[in-house]
Amino acid sequence: MIGKETVYNIGITNIVDKKQIIKLDKYEKIEIYLGEKGIYKVAKNKKYGLIDKEGKVLISEEQDEIGMSVEDFDTEEQGKIFFDKFVPIKKAGKWGIYLIENGKSKRIVDPLLAGLGYEKYKYVERDRSGYITFTTEDKKYLERKGVNVEKFDGKQLTEEELLSIGFTTDKTKIVNGENVLTIPTSEGYGGIVIKTELGKYGIISSEVGTHNNEPTYQFRLAPVVDTIYKRIDNRKC
């Protein structure tokens, strides 16, 4: 029907024994997430989850996002999984991390983080009347972050409003380095950079810890610093 969105129910059947692995009314969409691991991304009611090739739920279909864009970071990691075991998820505007290893999954970081990775502020100038006009490149950056560009472009913004979307008119706030999301294990302290709701940064180790015989995260650096960035000489600061 014109003007109506058609929703197709998707299932998976083993073509060898005709066994139905995923029933047709279970999900609205199924796509390969990590093919080499036999992990699939599923969707229903605009929420997402992960399952394995047998249909076992690894991450329930309650997440707003699974995986993240790494376009703005200097990293060799893909956004779907970090260190071959950590999957980033977003729920209710906050980020968390699942551990998927040896066919098992566990949420080791609750979705309470303001962000993953450190992104340096971008510099922008005001015109003579105090208005802010973003470049095409800056607009694309904001769109990737889910920001409503029209709300900010061509407006007389306060410095606090600019900082909230990653920009500043204060050149002293611009660091001499690059954004960083993950630190390779070859550096001797591999991990994922996290950002708390208080705007502080820390590093979660790429090595999994244990607590009461259950896997858990451990800090390489507690979230108490204002910046963690990759310097031009490739050292971390």
Q: Per-domain residue ranges for the chain?
A: 1-58, 122-174
- Reference 209, options 86, 37, 56; nearest CA is 86
First to last CA, the chain: 57
Q: What is the pLDDT of residue 78?
A: 82
Residue 40 makes CB contacts below 8 A (sequence gap 6+) with 30, 31, 32, 33, 50, 51, 52, 53
Residues paired with residue 193 on neighbouring β-strands, in sequence order: 203
Q: What is the pLDDT of residue 172?
A: 92
DSSP code at position 204: E
Residue 82 makes CB contacts below 8 A (sequence gap 6+) with 88, 182, 192, 206
Q: What is the pLDDT of residue 112?
A: 97
Q: What is the pLDDT of residue 5?
A: 44
Query: Which residues of the chain fall short of a pLDDT of 70?
Result: 1-25, 232-237
Q: What is the rounded CA–CA span in Å between residue 231 and residue 187?
A: 14
Q: What is the pLDDT of residue 17?
A: 59
DSSP code at position 149: H
Q: What is the pLDDT of residue 47?
A: 96
Q: What is the pLDDT of residue 185?
A: 87
Residues paired with residue 50 on neighbouring β-strands, in sequence order: 41, 59
Kind of pairing, strands 122-123 and 167-168? parallel
Q: HSE on the CB side for 185, CA within 13 Å?
A: 8
Yes or no: say if 27 and 34 are a contact pair by the CB < 8 Å rule: no
Q: Is 132 helix (H, G, I), strand (E, B) or coil?
A: strand
pTM equals 0.82
Q: What is the pLDDT of residue 4?
A: 42
Kind of pairing, strands 182-183 and 104-113? unpaired
pLDDT digits (tens, 9 = 90+) for 1-22: 334 444 445 666 655 555 666 6
Q: What is the pLDDT of residue 67?
A: 95
pLDDT digits (tens, 9 = 90+) for 132-150: 999 999 999 999 888 999 9
pLDDT digits (tens, 9 = 90+) for 168-178: 999 999 988 88
Q: What is the pLDDT of residue 14?
A: 57
Which tokens in the block code for residue 179? Answer: 């954004």
